[in-house]
Structure 1
Amino acid sequence: MADSTPLLSDCETPAEPKRLPPSLDETIERCIGDFGWFQVFQAILVSFAWVFDAQQTFISVFTDAEPSWHCTDHSVCNKFSNICQLPKGSWSWDWPAHTSIISEWGHECSTSFITGLPASSFFMGCLFGGLALATLADSTLGRKNMLLFSCLTMSLSSIFTVFSPNIWIYSVLRFINGFGRATVGTCALVLSTELVGKRWRCQAGVIGFFCFTLGFLSLPAMAYVNRGSSWRNLYLWVSAPTVLYCVLVRLLVHESPRWLFVKGRKEEAVTTLKSMAQTASALTMSFSNVLIEQESLDDNVDIFSSIRILLNKRWAAQRLAAVMVAGIGIGMVYYGMPLSLGNLSVNLYLGVTLNAFSELPASLITFFLIGRINRKDSILGFTILSGVCSVMCVVMGRVWPSLQITMELISFFSACTAFNMALIYTLELFPTCVRNSALSMVRQALVFGGVFSPLLVAVGRKNNLISFGVFGMAIGVCGLPLIGLPETRGGTICDTMDEEEHKQNEKAAAAFSTLA
């Protein structure tokens, strides 16, 4: 039976000075250390889910593309002709019709709404999935089970997509795919960071960013190997390994001991800690005696309670609102910049390649400098830099076009780094009982910002100021609400709302005494 003494209560003996029992963070580090080999393996395996996340996100670039074509009757056809106005036998696709959904189902002359419906359905699924599934990892399923559910939903819907008979069924399956995919990255990030000590927590989270880049870069290679084959083959290539991955996660990955403890499942938390202990002395230490000093506080009584907790606590609601506003601006640039490359005076393929590789240095900077730089100041700095360079794209396009792509790359790189930093910052801002829900809401804000990008890009084809100018203003202004939030570098992560409030009160008291 748990000790009924509150976690933050004073000691019972009057003669003793006020002392807090060891925090869960300290307890876990005593048991498993900072970042042992077993934790390295767990963090990498969990973070590998980001590879499949990236592949499912960008696969439509190849499967939904309109293939190139050539004339077969040059008397009525030339390379500048509109194929929708040509006789059917006067032209032909360069590749077999089954290489793309557009050519296989004859949608080359359909409206942009029809041809863009599958991609739009995927992102709508991401939004609905993020809202519907955001709290399950905090309330009932836990981090590991939620990751399994999301990966299985994503992979199985991708396999069923292979049997799509038309674009309408295909769009429905893409919606389900996006619905399942919505929480993959969030669960992987939270679980990987909760399995390690605070010294390496941020670095463990950055592993997921590297894996996402790996998945993004692997997709063109897979598509190149399958060139000329059916678009259905590419879905099989990215979905079959995901099923195998789910089996490995089920057998080899542990549930977060932090979440187990917060949910009152102490025995399971103790068993998990014992299995993760690195040394013989750690194995023989009395985990039960250490953990009995803690109080299990199950703040989540149903699947929506974590959202209510976030909104009922004024400080938590303010933090969530500020980070989500910043996320909208960052997401607008992160998803919009690559789409805008067609509006610049640069080779499209070169521009896309350079943008893809921009994510690598962004992840490297986050990995090596995350322990040395302030989170809040870094996000503010990168959002302002991204905004300035985005506006400079318009200026350079009129004054010095050759430097336009340079400004675009700096802006996109800054947005990528701010994207990574925002996720790490969110992890540290909120306690364990609502962490996954808060991170899910921030990720939905990033996706929501991306919803506006295609429209701005389409309008910006005639005037870059409308696209790049709005991108720059959005990311620059949306980062400003972060100014009022606390800095989290070097601090411990809390597990309950009361513990987080106590920590902030202590900081406020210390700051007041310093001023006094």
Structure 2
Amino acid sequence: MADPNPLLQQREYEAEAPKLEKQLPSLDDTIEQCIGNFGWGQFFQATLISFAWFFDAQQTFISVFTDAEPKWHCTSPSNSTCKNICEISRDSWDWDLPAHTSIISEWSLECAGSIITGLPASSFFLGCLAGGFVLATLADSSFGRKNMLVLSCMFMSLTGIFTALSTNVWMYTALRFISGFGRATIGTCALVLSTELVGKKWRGNVGIVGFIYFTLGFLSLPGVAYLIRGLSWRLLYLWTCVPSAFYSVFLYFLVRESPRWLYVKGRKEEFAETLRSIAAPVNRSSLTQSFFGRCVEWEEESHETNMYSAMKILLQKSWAFQRLVAIMVVAFGVGMIYYGMPLGLGNLDFDLYWSVTLNALSEFPASFLTFFLIEKLDRKVSVLGLALLSGICSVACVLVRWKVMQIGLELVSFFGACAAFDVVLIYSLELFPTCVRNSAVSMVRQALVFGGVFSPVLVAAGRKNGLLSYGVFGVTISVCGFFVACLPETRGRTSCDTIDQEERKNDAINNRVDNV
């Protein structure tokens, strides 16, 4: 008979584990004494840092409007053959809006094929993929969190301004790739830096602030695009990138570096000064003690690792490699529909501005659902259920003809993808021990972006047949969702710090199951 209480057995095993040797005060404990109480200084710092997500979202989804295929009409109403824009002469039809409202109409790409029209957006995600690999360790090594965040934001902003000067689709594609390459670390750096400036009690809330700003950035796009409708697509880049450039300057002068990173790098004077500047007034008196007398006992700097050494561990351990591959396959399917859904809204028979707005708004309930229910839901069931919900609705939205039903199914599908996106990232944190967790989560995020690489091409192909976009999206996320069967359940599990602890725990659980 199966044990009805495996989590209780797991906790009993952990209680019976050998006691660790006397530990010296940790760096986390000491920082917690200084910044554990959330003050206005920390609120300002965390909010300003998290705002980077706002501009990041704008550049991620800006192609929804700049690369959209504009509406067109026949100039001769009596022409009954005016159905396919590529089969009639150019003087038989015209764009509803001026040609400069989209790259498709300005550079006459209406008959160029799905690969060419989807190439700029795909190149952006390819740039994100390349940047994620190349720049992944710089925030942990020489640059630091703050400098890497400032550099990424400024790089993305300036590249976006230059993108507005593009003269052809090839130049435009190259600049979109460079923009994606530069912004690849914005989300990670903003999340890590903002959470390392506050106490443990507030880290979850501060992390949610970043996701909310990302949603707000996405939500701002249809508003800005509507204000400049009929004007050049280049203005959309300028209106979003110029403010982002000024934000980068403010970020450099107003934000403090992570105190933990400063200490690990031996910059103890800056470390103490940073804590003094961000700590709540009630805690500043604790910093008048002999700070560095205790610092001698800390050994945090000996644990510094990089993504590549951790990846070696992940590849060598069969159980870790199996988990990584399985969760990355799931993430690939989620990423394809999460990034592809907004890009494909122009293919539906619904107003583009309203549909983008409704999609952005649907991210709010997805985030709140994850926040309030994540501790009550099994990870495997949640991911599979959300994947199937999103997949079924994605396929169904192109099979129905009623506009209201179509956009309703699309919104439910995108809601499911957003919630699955959040749960997959949380699941990834729980699947791996601390020593390799950052690298594993980075690889999962790369898989999410890799799914987005294929989305623009499928969206372009779906302009003539919706099953080639939303149909493929739905089938992919549904099939990939079943790979959670290869993963262990992690709800209620205590996180491990080392590979040895994880393996001892797994062996103990497996032995108990075999002996039942």
Give a deviation string over 1:26-78, Cα, whole Å, max 9, x none: 22111111533222222211111111111111111111222223344446x46
Number of the residue aligned with 1:470: 475
Moved more, 166-175 or 195-204: 195-204
- SS of the aligned residue for 1:139 comes to coil
Matched, 1:358 2:359: no
C-alpha contact 1:393 1:405 (8 A) present in aligned 2: no
In structure 2, how many angstroms separate the alpha carbons of the residues matched to 1:442 and 1:212?
19
Q: What RMSD in Å do the two structures reach over aligned CA positions?
A: 3.9
AA in 2 matched with 1:383: L
Moved more, 443-452 or 419-428: 419-428
Displacement of 1:232: 1.1
Written as runs of structure 1 = structure 2, the 5 A alignment for 1:219-368 is 219-278=221-280, 279=282, 280-299=284-303, 304-308=308-312, 310-311=314-315, 317=321, 320-338=324-342, 352-368=356-372
Number of the residue aligned with 2:198: 196
C-alpha contact 2:56 2:214 (8 A) present in aligned 1: yes
Moved more, 395-404 or 39-48: 395-404
- Do the aligned partners of residues 273 and 237 (structure 1) sit closer, same or farther apart at CA in structure 2, a change above 3 Å counting? same
- Do the aligned partners of residues 395 and 165 (structure 1) sit closer, same or farther apart at CA in structure 2, a change above 3 Å counting? closer
Written as runs of structure 1 = structure 2, the 5 A alignment for 1:315-464 is 317=321, 320-338=324-342, 352-368=356-372, 372-373=375-376, 377-378=378-379, 380-388=381-389, 390-391=391-392, 408-426=410-428, 436-453=438-455, 458=461, 461=466
C-alpha contact 1:29 1:197 (8 A) present in aligned 2: yes
In structure 2, how many angstroms separate the alpha carbons of the residues matched to 1:359 and 1:228?
28
Number of the residue aligned with 1:60: 63
Number of the residue aligned with 1:12: none
In structure 2, how many angstroms separate the alpha carbons of the residues matched to 1:357 and 1:400?
24
Moved more, 303-312 or 154-163: 303-312
TM-score scaled by structure 1? Answer: 0.81
TM-score scaled by structure 2? Answer: 0.81
- SS of the aligned residue for 1:297 comes to helix
Number of the residue aligned with 2:488: 483
In structure 2, how many angstroms separate the alpha carbons of the residues matched to 1:315 and 1:514?
18
In structure 2, how many angstroms separate the alpha carbons of the residues matched to 1:169 and 1:108?
18
Number of the residue aligned with 1:6: none
AA in 2 matched with 1:62: F
Number of the residue aligned with 2:211: 209
Displacement of 1:108: 2.5
AA in 2 matched with 1:49: A
In structure 2, how many angstroms separate the alpha carbons of the residues matched to 1:342 and 1:455?
14
In structure 1, how many angstroms separate the alpha carbons of the residues matched to 2:58 and 2:397?
34
Displacement of 1:364: 2.3
In structure 2, how many angstroms separate the alpha carbons of the residues matched to 1:270 and 1:308?
35
Displacement of 1:117: 1.8
Number of the residue aligned with 1:145: 147
Give a deviation string over 1:358-390, Cα, whole Å, max 9, x none: 1011122334556x546xx24641432331453
Displacement of 1:435: 5.6
In structure 2, how many angstroms separate the alpha carbons of the residues matched to 1:389 and 1:416?
9
- Do the aligned partners of residues 245 and 313 (structure 1) sit closer, same or farther apart at CA in structure 2, a change above 3 Å counting? farther
- Do the aligned partners of residues 509 and 287 (structure 1) sit closer, same or farther apart at CA in structure 2, a change above 3 Å counting? farther
Counting matched residue pairs gives 490
- SS of the aligned residue for 2:97 comes to coil
Displacement of 1:347: 7.5
- SS of the aligned residue for 2:139 comes to helix
Number of the residue aligned with 1:10: none
Displacement of 1:315: 6.9
| Structure 2: gaps spanning 5 or more residues | 1-19
Give a deviation string over 1:109-157, Cα, whole Å, max 9, x none: 3222222221121111111111211222223222212212211211111
AA in 2 matched with 1:31: C
Number of the residue aligned with 2:5: none
- SS of the aligned residue for 2:242 comes to helix
- SS of the aligned residue for 1:65 comes to coil
Written as runs of structure 1 = structure 2, the 5 A alignment for 1:71-220 is 71-74=74-77, 77=79, 80-220=82-222
AA in 2 matched with 1:246: S
In structure 1, how many angstroms separate the alpha carbons of the residues matched to 2:331 and 2:437?
16
- Do the aligned partners of residues 73 and 408 (structure 1) sit closer, same or farther apart at CA in structure 2, a change above 3 Å counting? closer
Give a deviation string over 1:466-499, Cα, whole Å, max 9, x none: 536523533431333442557567x7xx9xxxx5
- SS of the aligned residue for 1:192 comes to helix
- Do the aligned partners of residues 307 and 53 (structure 1) sit closer, same or farther apart at CA in structure 2, a change above 3 Å counting? same
C-alpha contact 2:433 2:499 (8 A) present in aligned 1: no
C-alpha contact 1:137 1:437 (8 A) present in aligned 2: no
In structure 1, how many angstroms separate the alpha carbons of the residues matched to 2:346 and 2:172?
27
In structure 2, how many angstroms separate the alpha carbons of the residues matched to 1:464 and 1:303?
34
- SS of the aligned residue for 1:227 comes to coil
C-alpha contact 1:263 1:296 (8 A) present in aligned 2: no
- SS of the aligned residue for 2:112 comes to coil
AA in 1 matched with 2:45: Q
Residue identity (%): 57
In structure 1, how many angstroms separate the alpha carbons of the residues matched to 2:501 and 2:411?
40
Give a deviation string over 1:419-439, Cα, whole Å, max 9, x none: 123334545666787665443
- SS of the aligned residue for 2:300 comes to coil
- SS of the aligned residue for 1:201 comes to helix
Matched, 1:44 2:17: no
In structure 2, how many angstroms separate the alpha carbons of the residues matched to 1:250 and 1:186?
17
In structure 2, how many angstroms separate the alpha carbons of the residues matched to 1:223 and 1:277?
41
- SS of the aligned residue for 1:137 comes to coil
Displacement of 1:303: 7.5
- SS of the aligned residue for 1:84 comes to coil
Moved more, 464-473 or 147-156: 464-473
C-alpha contact 2:122 2:452 (8 A) present in aligned 1: no
| Structure 1: gaps spanning 5 or more residues | 1-16
Moved more, 242-251 or 256-265: 256-265
- SS of the aligned residue for 1:390 comes to helix
